[in-house]
Amino acid sequence: MNAVVVTGLGVVAPNGLSTEEYWNATLAARSGIGRITRFEPERYPATLAGEIRGFEPAAHLPGRLVPQTDHSTRLSLVAADEAVRDAGLDTGQLPEYGVGVVTANSAGGFEFGHQELDNLWRKGPEYVSAYQSFAWFYAVNTGQISIRHGLRGSSGVLVADEAGGLDALAQARRLLRRDLDAVLTGAVDGSLCPWGWIAQTSTGQLSTAEDPALAYRPFDERAAGFVPGEGGAILVVEDEAKARARHAPRIHGRILGHAATFDPRPGTVPADDASALTRAVELALADAGAVPDDIDAVFADAAGVPHLDRAEAAALGAVFGARELPVAVPKTLTGRLCAGAGPLDVATALLALRDGVLPPAAHTQPSPRYGLRVVVGRPLELRLRAVLVVARGLGGFNSAMVVGASH
Amino acid sequence: MARDVVITGVGVVAPGGIGSKPFWDLLVSGRTATRTITHFDASPFRSTVAAECDFDAQAEGLTAEEADRLDRATQFALVAAREALEDSGLAGDGPDPCRTGVTLGSAVGCTTSLEREYVVTSHGGRDWLVDPDLAVPHLYDYFVPSSMAAEVAWAAGAQGPCSVVSTGCTSGLDAVGHAVRLIEEGSADVMVAGGTDAPISPITVACFDAIRATTPRNDEPATASRPFDRTRNGFVLGEGCAVFVLEERERARARGAHVYAGVGGFASRCNAFHMTGLRPDGKEMAAAIETALDEARVRPDEVSYVNAHGSGTKQNDRHETAAFKKALGDHARRTPVSSIKSMIGHSLGAIGSVELAACALAIENGAVPPTANLYEPDPECDLDYVPLTAREARLDVVLSVGSGFGGFQSAMVLTRPGRAEQ
């Protein structure tokens, strides 16, 4: 089967508003987590988030797009623009239906939706925006990216909580194997408005710490929840032969394998059951034609919730045995970006493969009880050929992806 | 070797009847299930008609806890999935959980429950800083609609790939298309796939009012949905769900399963034109149809029935008529085309699956459902839309299409069982 390669990266993250800005911040362990500024968080049980600050939409997007889009959609358009530029993709030169868009989402343009609920219930139906019907729904980012870049090939939108972002990349790969030349894919997510915030705090999984250095500490004895954030990544993925034929300026790496599984019903197994996650990792390796020894590092889901951290450590232990496989958790610097997390981890993994270095996790002191070699302190230089990226969504969604170096 | 996919179970929750039999009876009767909205007081709104389901969750077998906790669209999905699994013969003695997956289409997820809880936590809309102490413990399940697929997966005992597909109004078709690909590639042998939406709530009604997409024909609710009619002036919002059991064909054959139809082909395109607007030429929908027919190895003149998107907006019905002419050529004028939205409204992300259920049942029962309320033909819509009355017909190849906000255009081809082997 033809190889699927990544030729363009676009990143919008709390610690960097472009791929290189993000990568530099990540290697320097600069965190984007802080007290929420977009609304007054005082009354809420959690007050920290990975916010993207200083983003001026008008500096990046045509003025007419601003009133009709949610903050997260604007960010997704900026990420898509960077990815297309990075890939040197001239979509006009590709077949009419040769390029598609596949994104994942968790809650759509939720802040936009909050504003319109406010208009409806405080003022009345006639105050609801004419853009509401398409600004808040889950398909919005795919639709707007498709329009902005004139992409008319087979496209899609997946929702599988935090696992959905990897599933979107896998769907893009599936479409490339059928008939597409290129796909813009990934996810940019985030719902940092009061209404989205209480939905997230309702899970009881968010850290209630007020000090950013003490909040999101996966695989730590003191782990007590995570910090959510906003952002993600959009990638250009292509069939390798076609990318080479058009002289794509660079190949960041390959998407080698993927699998998605779903946990047994809660209550039928222990809360830290790792069976379905283990199977996802095994199937992703099999899909990549890889054995555990081929994997040089893991980008962990790292929920920061003890029973979920235990399950992930158990799954990695089951597959990789006693190997001291380095585990990277760059999301300790951004917070968990829901659907955006998987694509951002894949983008980070590709940068790590390129530069032969794993970024350090911040704030966490890994506990030996998990048996994982979490990279902390300073970047770890090593030769990387292939890495595993894990993403898990609330409710039982597991997704695993293997990405490999370009050479 | 290529793995083909067949439909072995059908479950439906629709306006006018719960279950695939009442649904089919309504369609062939040509009766409509559109009425003045009863879910809430819609009098302040521009459009006050909808196609509502008469659905009692507990009477349909859900527990009181499920009836309380789950969004109405999720409840629909559980009821339809149960019918589909029982219909397929896989209920109880299910297939290997690891080889069974779920894809559920939904355009707006749990929006009705979200709005209800918003009203509570904002103290009737007054407070921007919503009150966390009033949030229900399962609020996150409404917030991220993959919870809907999770509920179906638990009910079906599925531990394979699981997701929600949310491509606006083509979600129901695209979710089935996605499930078909997962079986074809070997990621699953059985998929429980379909679409569900229960969007009849103030915010959804208001957002379609704001762009005048829904009909203001409030004084004639029973005949308000008028696809392809000269007097059409917008769609009628609906709700509902259809869920299928899809199986790899040899597996279905080996266990002697009843097969409704084979899924011959599927394709989707984007128009990259406008989030809600359609170019009148129907080009991208035609491209999706052509690709789906190619995959099914079917010539355009072999299509025996087209289930149209037929929403009843001015632009859609014109767009779609052009697409059929472009993709099917002269045969577009000879083949029956109908829109069941005339009877059951437009249930957004569910309707693609509900219409696909109508197609599977049409093949099974040898009849074409009509387009109700079509009294005054529109010169711009000049195909055979099967006005008012159902027709008996042997259907070998059925085409179903969908068109959605975001520019999505999708097409699926169903074939009569046994046809592929001929």
Chain A contact probe: residue of B96, B141, B142, B144 with most A CBs at under 10 A? B144
Name the residue among B158, B163, B211 with its Cβ closest to that of A164: B163
Helix axes B146-156, B72-88, angle to 10 degrees: 30
CA dihedral sign of residues B124, B130, B135, B140: positive
CATH architecture for residues A256-404:
3-Layer(aba) Sandwich (3.40)
Q: How far apart are CA B115 and CA B388, in angstroms?
A: 37
Helix (H) or strand (E) holding A75: helix A71-87
Integer Cα distance of B13 and B54 in angstroms: 9
> What pLDDT was estimated at residue B1?
59
Q: In which residue are the tokens 């997956």 written?
A: B101
CB-nearest to B203 from A100, A117, A171 is A117
DSSP annotation of A383: -
The continuous run of DSSP H or E covering B403 comes out as: strand B397-404
**Domain A4-253: assigned CATH number:** 3.40.47.10
Do B212 and B288 share a domain, yes or no?
A: no
Number of Cβ within a 10 Å radius of residue B171:
39
- Over 50: is that where the pLDDT of B422 sits? no
User: At B402, is the secondary structure helix, strand, or coil?
Assistant: strand
pLDDT digits (tens, 9 = 90+) for B222-262: 999 999 999 999 999 999 999 999 999 999 999 999 999 99
Question: Is 70 exceeded by the pLDDT of residue B169?
Answer: yes
Predicted confidence (pLDDT) per residue in A299-319, tens digit? 999 999 999 999 999 999 999
Note whether residue B243 is domain-resident: yes
Q: Using CB atoms, which residue from A128, A160, A195 is nearest to B146?
A: A160
Q: Bridge partners of A390?
A: A400
Contact (CB<8Å) A156/B407: no
From the list A199, A264, A393, the residue facing B159 with the nearest CB is A264
Cα B349 to chain centroid distance, Å, stands at 6
User: Do B276 and B208 share a structural domain?
Assistant: no
Beta strands in B249-380 (DSSP E): 261-270, 305-307, 337-338, 367-368
- B75 close to A (CB below 8 A): no
pLDDT at B321 over 80: yes
Q: So what's the pLDDT on residue B420?
A: 56
- Domain ranges across chain A: 4-253, 256-404
> Does the beta-carbon distance from B203 to A110 stay under 8 Å?
no
| Alpha helical stretches, state H, B60-145 | 64-69, 72-88, 111-121, 139-143
Of the residues B53, B162, B309, B381, which is catalytic? B309
* Alpha carbon of residue B34 to chain centroid: 16
Whether B291 has a pLDDT exceeding 80, the answer reads yes
* DSSP β-ladder status, B17-18 and B5-14: antiparallel
B245 shares a domain with B308: no
Residue B226 domain-assigned (yes or no): yes
**A4-253 and A256-404, same CATH topology:** yes
Tens digits of residue pLDDT in A49-72: 999 999 999 999 999 999 999 999
B120 in A contact zone (CB under 8 Å): no
Whole-angstrom Cα distance, residue B294 to residue B298? 6
Of B169, B241, B359, B381, the active-site residue reads B169
How far is the C-alpha of A262 from the C-alpha of A15, rounded, in Å? Answer: 32
Q: CA B15 from chain center: how many Å?
A: 12
CATH number of the domain at B399, please. Answer: 3.40.47.10
User: Which amino acid appears at position A405 of this protein?
Assistant: A
Alpha-carbon gap, residue B394 to B368, rounded angstroms:
9
pLDDT less than 50: residues of chain A: none
Q: Is B422 within a domain?
A: no
> How far apart, in whole angstroms, are the C-alpha atoms of residue B359 and residue B260?
10
The domain tally of chain B equals 2
DSSP SS3 for A388: strand
Does B261 map to a domain?
no
* String of DSSP letters for A210-271: SSGGGT--TTBTT---B-BB-EEEEEEEEEHHHHHHTT-S---EEEEEEEEEEPPPTTSS-T
Beta bridge partners of residue B266, listed in sequence order: B412
Residue A355, C-beta contacts closer than 8 angstroms, at least 6 positions apart: none
Are the beta carbons of B272 and A146 separated by less than 8 Å? Answer: yes
ipTM score assigned to the predicted complex: 0.97
What residues of B are in contact with residue A113 (Cβ under 8 Å)?
Answer: 203
Distance from CA of B341 to the nearest CA of A (A): 20
Contact A140 B203 (CB under 8 A): no
Shared domain for B182 and B313, answered yes or no, is no
B141 class by beta-carbon count within 10 Å (0-12 exposed, 13-18 middle, 19+ buried): buried
Q: Are residues B206 and B327 in the same domain?
A: no
Question: Which of A123, A134, A262, A338 is the mutation pick for testing B, counting most B CBs within 10 A?
Answer: A262
Q: Which residue in B128, B138, B273 is closest to A147 by CB distance?
A: B273
* Cβ atoms of B199 and B235 closer than 8 Å: no
Closest B-chain CA to A149? B272
Q: How far is CA A258 from CA A168, A281, A284, B103, in A?
A: 11, 8, 4, 17
For residues B212 and B285, membership in a common domain is answered with: no
Specify whether B188 is located in the same domain as B292. no
Residue B259 lies in a domain: no
B359 tagged catalytic = no
**The tokens 């996150």 sit on which residue?**
B140
Neighboring chain A residues of B166 at a CB cutoff of 8 Å: 105, 137-139, 157-159
A203/B140 CB distance under 8 A? yes
Q: For residue A387, what are its two tokens?
A: 């890495």
Residue closest to B95 by CA, chosen among B244, B256, B247, B249: B247
Angstrom distance (rounded) from CA A247 to CA A229: 36
A101 touches B at CB < 8 Å: yes
Distance from CA of B13 to the nearest CA of A (A): 23
Neighbours of B230 (CB within 10 A): 13
Residues B129 and B59 in one domain: yes
Average pLDDT, stretch B183-195? Answer: 98
Chain B environment of A157 (Cβ under 8 Å)? 165-167, 406
Same domain, B233 and B284: no
> Structural domain of residue B226, as residue ranges?
5-254
B258 counts as catalytic: no
Q: Is A109 on the interface with B (CB under 8 A)?
A: no
| CA–CA gap between residue B204 and residue A134 (Å, rounded) | 11
Please report where in the chains the tokens 């600004």 appear, as a residue.
A135
B158: tokens are: 């599925």
The HSE-up count of residue B109 (CA atoms within 13 Å, CB side) is 33
Residue B237: strand pairing partners: B50, B346
Q: List all residues 6 or more positions away from A132 whose beta carbon is below 8 Å from its beta carbon.
A: A112, A113, A116, B203, B206, B207, B210
- The angle that helices A110-118 and A71-87 make with each other, rounded to 10 degrees, is 150
Give pLDDT, residue A92: 85
Does any domain span residue B420? no
Residues 226 through 285 of chain A touching chain B, CB cutoff 8 Å? 259-265, 276, 279
Based on the fold, state whether residues B205 and B169 are members of the same structural domain.
Answer: yes
Chain B contact present for A321, CB below 8 A: no
Burial class (CB in 10 A: 0-12, 13-18, 19+), A274: buried
